[in-house]
Chain A
Amino acid sequence: MNDANTTGVEASGVPQTMQKMSKIDLAPIPNEGVLLGWLRQMLLIREFEVRTMQAYQNQLIGGFCHIYIGQEAVAVGSIAAVNDDDPIVLAYRDHGHALARGMDPKYCMAEMFGRIGGCAKGKGGSMHMFDADHYLYGGHGIVSAQTPLGAGLAFATKYEDEILKGGKSSHVTLCFLGDGALNQGCFYEAMNLASLQDLPVIYVLENNRYSMGTAIDRGTSMAEELHVKSEAFGIEHAIVDGKNVIDMYRKFKSIADWCREESRPFFVEAQTYRYKGHSMSDPRKYRTKEEESREEENDCIDLLTTFLTEEFDFTKDALKQMNKQVKVQIRDSVTWANNSPETPMDEMYKDVYTDTWGPYTGTSKPEMLEEGGET
């Protein structure tokens, strides 16, 4: 992949692929308050991830853990463009989306600490953030597992709106996937179904150009023209600058509104970069330090800060102040997570079925346990 193309900043005009969608205009830039909210969210995610890495080093977090630093604008800009009750489903690099969707960071941290206070009671961990109250249908550990689920969530909202409520389809599902997930067959089956059934789902490709150590053009054919992947199914597509939260939002808002209105799927390529390794144990030998620093120079938080400074005299002090608040909030989250008790043993057999059966031993019939489940 050549470097001029990587950030999408050079291409910040309307990408060629969008021109076909003449019906889609860029949504207006929101007011200062909204932009400040986004900045705060991005700072919050970044600080959260910094503390996550620390906690991982201190062995408070186990298993696989994937850091979202660098990609914050994708989650923040796209999630801001849909309604709070529009479903979201994604892969395992999921902390940022959970926070952008409004999950209190303390629940997210406690989940990774394996505590009962975690958003999934410590049963899922870093890769599996679920939050029903925020219509977050999970981080999913198996690459691309979420792509048919995304079609299914859209199928459900459409079914509910049109058949159960007798109205018009009024929701849109966001289904995020990595560039590596493009190469699982189920994604193409899902797109075909979404197109055939007019499902309002947006496939948000977070193209950070690597799947583990595999640069996109080594693992994905037509890596420079990914729109062809959805064109084959008659699904509309667009490229957005995933580092520029305003650009993300403006295009995304129009796209989401269009999908909602037309009840159709969409494929959006957000061009971005992950600053850290794939997971906590990745020495990143497959790319150069120069490439990394070039990418980090074009940072989503800096871009928005600069915009705010130029347009609204946002001061360095104000930024400092915001950073301070965020640090305090995350520090409190870590403390809260640390104080949350370890997931107790009686959770072992809960949630396997809707009724609590257990334990199965191979020599006796499992019993129905009381509500509250004594084992």
Chain B
Amino acid sequence: MSVATAQRVIEFREALREAMIEEMRNDERVFLIGEEVAQYNGAYKVSKGMLDEFGSRRVIDTPISESGFSGMCIGSAMRGLRPIVEFMSWSFSLVAADPILNNAAKMLYMSGGQFGCPIVFRGNDGAGGQLASTHSWCVESLYANVPGLKMAIPYDPYDAKGLLKTAIRDDNPVFFLESERLLSTTGHVPEEEYTVPFGQALIRSEGTDCTLISFGRPLHFCLEASEELAKEGIYCEVIDGRTIRPLDIDTMVHSVRKTNACVVVDQSWSFASVGSEIASQIHAICFDDLDNYVHRVHSDDVPTPYSHNLEQAYLPNTRKICEAVRAATYNA
């Protein structure tokens, strides 16, 4: 069988849709709810056609009431239903911060294990393209601070489907962070049933000189940087963390023990971030292996600017990543 016929290639958004459709077929307790998910087929067409298959009791349009519908779904999850809540953007989840952080993440603990919260919150995270500061939130660092929730960030269609299926089957609240910029990207997704487990990082490209760790869209720039650096004789090992909670620090440590250098790329702000957490863990575990401190690339420490050139300079980009790797490997 040639590679071409063996590999079915679909869009990221289709992979997400397939995951939801398959899980909804398998389990009647699963439903999808959010703004414009049903009649409009999703603001970003992720849920296209799902209303037709499942009807309006299981694919549900809501008013612009994030706090209300998140809380409502958490209540239903306490009774054992398994909602998938779409935020048009994670930026809008901020108005639902109390239910998703206080109720979803803590329900099991507060009830002494009596009431769980099997729910998935999903939607676009991070900068879209000149959406300015209110609409460009990277919530991973804010929310990863909270115990009781899981967090996944898929990079390609294969993981989008596999991780989302795992998320829907998980008995805990999962924050599933997609990127609007990745939705139209394509990749191989097998026809057969599969899932991608949480807590297993993926080595996206192997290398000997520097471990480059990232999640989601910035991986694109890491891979680009790693190609550019290879021309200079610096070989990066690019690790896709895939899930932030749980975090597969072992795979990262294993790589750093080989490369003795590490750069973490995280689209959120630097202060008290996922990036600083990973750096701190690697410093603690790989203290004797590192030739240099762990370097980090983040968005600049300012609200996201609208202006195109400022936004480009603000985001983690290939140039910044190359500079950080050169510095971390004493090639600056």
Chain A residues with a Cβ under 8 A of chain B: 62-64, 111, 114-115, 120, 122-125, 127-128, 140-145, 180-181, 183-186, 211-214, 218-220, 285-286, 342-343, 345, 347-349, 352, 358-363, 366
Q: Which of chain B's residues has its CB closest to A180's CB?
A: B64
CA A202 – CA B302 in complex, angstroms? 34
Contacts of B128 in A (CB 8 A): 63
Tell me whether B271 and A348 are in contact (CB under 8 A): no
Tell me whether B129 and A62 are in contact (CB under 8 A): yes
CA A143 – CA B35 in complex, angstroms? 12
Which residues between 62 and 118 of chain B lie within 8 Å of chain A, taking CB atoms? 62-65, 67-68, 91-92, 94-95
CA A230 – CA B39 in complex, angstroms? 30
Tell me whether A352 and B303 are in contact (CB under 8 A): yes
B44 to chain A, nearest CB (A): 10
CA A358 – CA B92 in complex, angstroms? 28
CA A63 – CA B305 in complex, angstroms? 11
B314 at the interface (CB under 8 A from A): yes
Contacts of A219 in B (CB 8 A): 61-64
Tell me whether B63 and A348 are in contact (CB under 8 A): no
Tell me whether A114 and B36 are in contact (CB under 8 A): no
B205 at the interface (CB under 8 A from A): no
Contacts of A352 in B (CB 8 A): 301-303
Q: Which of chain A's residues has its CB closest to B88's CB?
A: A212
Q: Which of A62, A184, A342 contacts B95 (CB 8 A)?
A: A184
B310 at the interface (CB under 8 A from A): yes
A212 to chain B, nearest CB (A): 6
Tell me whether B303 and A142 are in contact (CB under 8 A): no
B300 at the interface (CB under 8 A from A): yes
A82 to chain B, nearest CB (A): 26
CA A214 – CA B60 in complex, angstroms? 12
Closest 6 CB pairs of A and B: A62-B130, A125-B306, A114-B307, A183-B63, A63-B130, A141-B134
CA A220 – CA B61 in complex, angstroms? 12
Contacts of A143 in B (CB 8 A): 64, 92
A-B contact pairs, 15 of them (CB 8 A): A62-B130, A63-B131, A122-B307, A123-B133, A124-B306, A144-B64, A183-B63, A183-B64, A214-B39, A214-B40, A219-B62, A343-B310, A347-B305, A359-B301, A362-B296
Tell me whether A115 and B307 are in contact (CB under 8 A): yes
Which residues between 129 and 164 of chain B lie within 8 Å of chain A, taking CB atoms? 129-135
B229 at the interface (CB under 8 A from A): no
Q: Which of chain A's residues has its CB closest to B314's CB?
A: A348
CA A284 – CA B155 in complex, angstroms? 31
Q: Which of chain B's residues has its CB closest to A128's CB?
A: B132
Tell me whether B64 and A114 are in contact (CB under 8 A): no
Tell me whether A212 and B307 are in contact (CB under 8 A): no
